Structure 1
């Protein structure tokens, strides 16, 4: 018997249909729904002979685990898992790599938001510790708004060891640290890079910090002392994207 995974929310289900339509086994929609996006998903499911079931709001709430399902839930095969071996295979290709590394980030909403930002900035993969990081849950996929299907989330056993491997492969390791004198705008990145960000309130762990080639901060000009994780990720990733694009023009 197949093990099926829940995906809910319009954007998350839409991305699932686009990326892994063959893995979808059933689409559940709110009975009587007049939401255009929901009915478009229903039509696409019918076109590809995917089972469609109209169910009550109570059933959708139960299946989604009280998630904000927006009237649609898909049941499908689990997402592919990415590990250290996957990372090794990726780095065998001759290209300039762009990674986001999350150190000790265990909040599913932060992971989902970071995946969404990573997709927008063109990141090749998000690396997270297997034992100290959040997993890709239905909530993460919903918050990621489709990015859980487009950005590989690479789970590793030892983050410090993985960073060391990346450095040996020629990837520049840039760590986010609110106390760093050098800001992200002072950095110059013209090659493969991995941006490492720690959890809110704790920051980078010592062993992680020791593997960074450089620590950078975001300049704060107001009264607050820091930004939340996903906003900080967005600021830094888009600045790194700008720098990389500048050097490839």
Structure 2
């Protein structure tokens, strides 16, 4: 859904020379770090802790040690260089790179057969060239909270997973399958063949979110912040769904729109 202004893409982080740029990534901030360690520590490689840490920050050293994660004490400048522009709060996790799933494997994991898909009425979110890694992280967090089966992103002209994405996702990044694909439209065609109905978020859509029949397998498309969905993606949608606006604002932030539609879908379905 179009977002207007104020969602300019932020620059990605510089890479730590001691870590492989292709095989490592960072989770920064106290809550995301704690949530990730407690949720799944199997792919965590190291914890960087700010030199001179006191009080509650020291508990992260014990938390990491209890989970078998090596701890390295470093100056604040080192932390700043790992995640420029991110409020790391004195603690950064190094974790193995995001393991993007093959899209066929992801869809098969959601439902192995058409019959199972219809019974489960799953939602998979398709991000049509989201540019801002913070929006990507927020959308992933909403997907996990709403019980979506997976997220599909393009491999070009779109935000990849960055430290900012991980931080904004609040540690949920590894709790949902993410597929990165070369052609979103081909994937949409595959999903239709499997039994999904494709619903695109569109401010001028003909179907309001309250009128939409969410009680079925849905591929929910969220367009880029500035331009919304591409013309071909819009044409490929079975439904163009709008969020009713009561005030003078013409549009919503992409991540906000995604969250609203995901929970509208969740509420509209039987438990």
TM-score normalised by L of structure 1: 0.90
Contact kept? 2:136, 2:165, Cα under 8 Å? yes
Which deviates more from structure 2 when the two are superposed, residues 129-138 or residues 156-165?
129-138
Which deviates more from structure 2 when the two are superposed, residues 110-119 or residues 19-28?
19-28
- 1:130 offset after TM fit, Å? 1.3
What is the aligned partner in structure 2 of residue 50 from structure 1?
69
Q: 1-side partners of 2:91 and 2:196: how far apart?
A: 41
Q: 1-side partners of 2:141 and 2:150: how far apart?
A: 12
Instruction: Tell me the number of residue pairs that the alignment of Structure 1 and Structure 2 aligns.
Output: 245
Deviations 1:5-41 (A, max 9, x none): 22212233224323441322211111232352x4333
Q: 1-side partners of 2:67 and 2:222: how far apart?
A: 41
What is the aligned partner in structure 2 of residue 113 from structure 1?
138
What is the aligned partner in structure 1 of residue 199 from structure 2?
174
Assess, with a 3 A threshold, how the Cα gap between structure 1 residues 240 and 9 changes in structure 2: closer, same or farther.
Answer: same
Say which SS state the counterpart of residue 127 (structure 1) adopts: strand
What is the aligned partner in structure 1 of residue 45 from structure 2?
25
Question: Equivalences for 1:88-107 in 2 at 5 Å?
Answer: 88-90=107-109, 91-92=111-112, 94=116, 95-107=120-132
Contact kept? 2:106, 2:177, Cα under 8 Å? no
- Paired residue for 1:82, among 77, 82, 101? 101
Contact kept? 1:19, 1:149, Cα under 8 Å? no
Deviations 1:141-170 (A, max 9, x none): 011111212122211111011011111111
- Paired residue for 1:206, among 217, 220, 231? 231
Say which SS state the counterpart of residue 149 (structure 1) adopts: helix
What is the aligned partner in structure 2 of residue 67 from structure 1?
86
Contact kept? 2:131, 2:225, Cα under 8 Å? no
Contact kept? 2:198, 2:221, Cα under 8 Å? yes
Gaps of 5+ in 1: none
Contact kept? 1:15, 1:149, Cα under 8 Å? no
Gaps of 5+ in 2: 1-18
- 1:111 offset after TM fit, Å? 0.6
Say which SS state the counterpart of residue 140 (structure 1) adopts: helix
What is the aligned partner in structure 1 of residue 248 from structure 2?
223
Assess, with a 3 A threshold, how the Cα gap between structure 1 residues 177 and 85 changes in structure 2: closer, same or farther.
Answer: same
Assess, with a 3 A threshold, how the Cα gap between structure 1 residues 164 and 92 changes in structure 2: closer, same or farther.
Answer: same
Q: 1-side partners of 2:63 and 2:98: how far apart?
A: 20
Deviations 1:33-78 (A, max 9, x none): 2352x43332121123321122221111112234211111112222
Q: 1-side partners of 2:58 and 2:215: how far apart?
A: 45
**How large is the Cα RMSD of the aligned pairs?**
1.9
Assess, with a 3 A threshold, how the Cα gap between structure 1 residues 24 and 209 changes in structure 2: closer, same or farther.
Answer: same
Which deviates more from structure 2 when the two are superposed, residues 10-19 or residues 209-218?
10-19
Q: 1-side partners of 2:104 and 2:58: how far apart?
A: 40
What is the aligned partner in structure 1 of residue 189 from structure 2?
164
Contact kept? 1:174, 1:216, Cα under 8 Å? yes
Say which SS state the counterpart of residue 216 (structure 1) adopts: strand
Contact kept? 2:76, 2:90, Cα under 8 Å? yes
The runs of 4+ residues in structure 1 deviating greater than 4 Å are: none
Deviations 1:67-93 (A, max 9, x none): 211111112222222232332432326
